[in-house]
Amino acid sequence: MHAMTSLALIWTAVFLATIAARWTRLTPVLWFLFFGAVMVNTGLLPEHADPFIAGFAELGIIVIMFAIGFEEDTSKFIDSIKKSWGIAFFGGVAPFTAAFFVADYFWHDLNISLMCGLTMTATAVSLTMVSLHSEGLGQSKVASRIMTSALLDDIASLALLAVLVPIASGTAAVTPVGIALIMGKSVLFFLIISLLGAWIFPHKPKGWFRKVPFLGHVGIASILKFGKGEHATLTVLLMAVLIGLLAHEFGFHPAVGAFMAGLILKQEYFHFGNNTKSHKQTSQIIDNVAFSWLGPVFFVHLGAQIIFMPDVLMAIIPHVIAMTLILAVAQVASASIAARYTGGMRWPGAMMIGFGMLGRAELACVVMDIAYTQNHILPIEAFYTLMITAFWLNLAVPITIRLWKPVYKRDLNLHERVVVPGPKDYSEIG
């Protein structure tokens, strides 16, 4: 019954965290971590979680990563890459480099530095989108650019995670042959995923593949429409777990496979007969599972890894200050300059993109969990530094967006106003 008691307490914390998030307008992830830390330090949760809770949390992060990939419209994502690649590249390289060198300065360990850099690479897109939406900017150009850039950073981070964790944890030799083997496995895995997305999943297979018995005539849509679509949620969750297991067989975290599974499942696969709402219904169920009751268990469980040690907290104050300030400057400067000169944004919009990419949440927690809890690559000082730094960066997102909004709106009103055409006039749409 101890596991069930812990689960009841965790779900209570999730409910309270959701209320606190709405009241403070911060991402719920911060409050999940906070309540997890408070509960373990007050004795409500044990320091060593029950295997059931640990397994439940592991399943939670798999579903979360699948949901993030599943929400993305692949076609819109591909269309916006041309104007967002620079933001993603420079906005990812700069924080990785900044965190790497800060960690190297304090801990002088290559593996720790690599994990710190990787943790601080991916943007918390959900936090930014919620903040923009609350300010009436959810459908703006900056929101689209941030979404695409953040997704590109997530994909790059997952690829690096697949390559670097085996090396940093010592399961792969740091030799040219060992690195080549990891790179080869990574390429092979992503080739298999590409094959699934391009030829096996589509309802109408292309080229020679249509000649393959059974598979040449039955795509994923045929399976999704079984039982008039009533089992679509079960089908996609099974797909997430199976591809997650495939990723695990290649030596990667199952969350990598789950994310890719969500990314290659297109909306068109859910359109069969007169049913055009199946994708929306399935997405709502997946979101509810991932972000309401299953996924949050992972974050509360991760927060429960924070055992308050006054001596450690006092010792890492310089680490947190340096990591937070240097990362913030590197992230805002790199993303905004890239948005200005590779994405064609004016400075007010470019700066808004820079502020919007400050957050660190879901994927950062995945990396910290893998590096600290599962593989013991990070020391406790580095783990605490990254957690507290992520907190301050996330706190900065809604604050900076709200403060910068008048500047951004003033620029929009100046350059993108619509003039009603007269007899010899034309509309000016920025």
Per domain, the residue ranges of the chain are: 2-410
Are 270 and 29 spatial neighbours (Cβ–Cβ below 8 Å)? no
**pLDDT (tens digit, 9 = 90+) per residue, 129-170?**
657 766 778 668 888 788 778 777 877 777 787 778 887 877
Note the pLDDT tens digit of each residue in 307-337: 888 999 999 999 999 999 999 999 999 999 9
Of the pLDDT bands very low, low, confident and very high (cuts 50, 70, 90), residue 273 is: low
Quick check: 165 and 248 in contact, CB under 8 A?
Answer: no
User: What is the Cα–Cα distance from 288 to 360, expressed in whole angstroms?
Assistant: 21
User: If you average pLDDT over residues 197-221, what whole number do you get?
Assistant: 64
Q: How high does pLDDT run on average in the chain? A: 82
Q: For residue 266, what pLDDT is reported?
A: 80
- State which of 14-28, 121-135, 202-216 shows the largest mean pLDDT: 14-28
The yes-or-no verdict on residue 182 having pLDDT over 80 is no
Report pLDDT digits (tens) over 362-411.
Answer: 778 888 988 998 889 999 999 999 999 998 898 888 889 989 999 999 98
pLDDT digits (tens, 9 = 90+) for 43-62: 999 988 899 998 998 898 88
Amino acid at 296: P
CATH number of 2-410: 1.20.1530.20
141 vs 198, residue with greater confidence: 141
- Give the best-scoring range by mean pLDDT among 84-88, 91-95, 213-217, 367-371: 91-95
Cα angle: 141, vertex 147, 151; to 5 degrees? 150
CA distance 68 to 291: 10
Contact 340, 86 (CB under 8 A): no
Give 86's contacts (C-beta < 8 A, 6+ positions apart). 338, 339, 341, 342, 343
Residue type (1 letter), 330: A
Band of residue 8 on the pLDDT scale cut at 50, 70, 90: very high
Q: Where does residue 378 rank: exposed (0-12), middle (13-18), buried (19+ CB within 10 A)?
A: buried
Pick 27 or 375 by higher pLDDT. Answer: 375
Cβ within 8 Å of residue 372, ≥6 positions away: 305, 378, 382, 383
Which residue do the tokens 């104007």 mark?
A: 83
